Amino acid sequence: MAENVLEIRDLSLSYGDDDIVRNVNLSVKAGEILCIAGESGCGKSTLLKAIHGMDAINVTAGDIVYEGKSILGMPASERRRMMGTGIGLIPQNPQGSFNPLRSFGKQMKETMESHGMKFDRTEMVRLMDSMGLPDGDKLISSRPFELSGGMNQRVAIVFSLLLQPKVLLCDEITSALDVTSGKMVIHEVESYAAHSNAAILMVTHHLGIADRIADTVAVMNHGEVVEYGPVSKVLYHPEDSYTRMLLEKIPKIRREAVS
C-alpha cells in the first residue's frame, strides 16, 4: 500500500488569539486528488496556506508531515528549499506572486534555476497552449500587468506545473476563470496528477468539481472537518447534514445522493 506523502495531524491554526481551524486530520498519497470543500470562511484556504508555510498563520496544535518528516520542525532554510519542487501552491489570487514589471519568461527561468532546474521554454509554451492562453511563445515575453486576472491565474498554474512538485496545493484555482478556461485548467491538473504521480490538494467551494476529479473529499464547516472519505461515500452517501446541504445546491449530485 502506498504511503502518505502528506499528513495533517490534529492541526489547529489561528491568526490571533482564537483558533480558526481546529483538530484537522487529513492525508494524501502520491497520485491521489483530495478536494477540500466548504463555503467561504470555513478555513480551507487557511489550511493550504499553513501547509505552504505562510508566516502570518500560527500553528497552535498538531503537525504537518511531508514524506515522513515534520515540516514544522524543519529549519526555515530547508523549508524554503522544499517549497516549489516539493510542495507547490497555486494561489487564488496570483498577483502577489509575480513581479508586475518583469516578463514571465525571465521570472520562470530564475525560479527554476533557483531550484536547480533547467528552464524549458518549449514546455512552458505547451502548457500555456493547454490552458487556452493564446500565442504562448509571445506571451512568455509579456509582463503580468499586461494581462487580465484570469490570464495571470492560468500563467501561475503553468509556473507551478513546470516546477513539478510532488504535492500541488490548489486554492480555488477556477474562481477567476470562465467555464471553458476552468475546464481546461481542471483537465491539466488531472493530467499532471496522472502522469507525474503527484498528490493534489484542491480547495473548492463547488462540490461539482470534487465529483469530477477527486479520489477523496473533506468537507469543512466553521474550521472543522465534518465529513471525510472516498468521493463515492461523501458525495453519494453523505452522513453529515452540512454536506447534504451543500449537495442540495448541485442538482446532478442531489438526484443520486441518498436523501
Per-residue pLDDT of 221-252, as tens digits, reads 999 999 999 999 999 999 999 999 988 877 65
Rounded Cα distance between 246 and 114, Å, is: 42
* Residue-range domain boundaries for the chain: 4-256
pLDDT at site 27: 96
Rounded Cα distance between 76 and 28, Å, is: 24
Per-residue pLDDT of 66-100, as tens digits, reads 999 898 878 877 777 777 678 988 887 776 778 88
Q: What is the CATH number of domain 4-256?
A: 3.40.50.300
Per DSSP, the residues of 126-177 read HHHHHTT-SSHHHHTT--GGGS-HHHHHHHHHHHHHHT--SEEEEESTTTTS
Rounded Cα distance between 36 and 228, Å, is: 9
Asked whether the predicted pLDDT for residue 136 surpasses 60, the reply is: yes
Integer CA distances (angstroms), 237 to 62, 73, 91, in order: 30, 38, 31
pTM of the prediction? 0.88
> At 88, which helix (H) or strand (E)?
strand 87-90
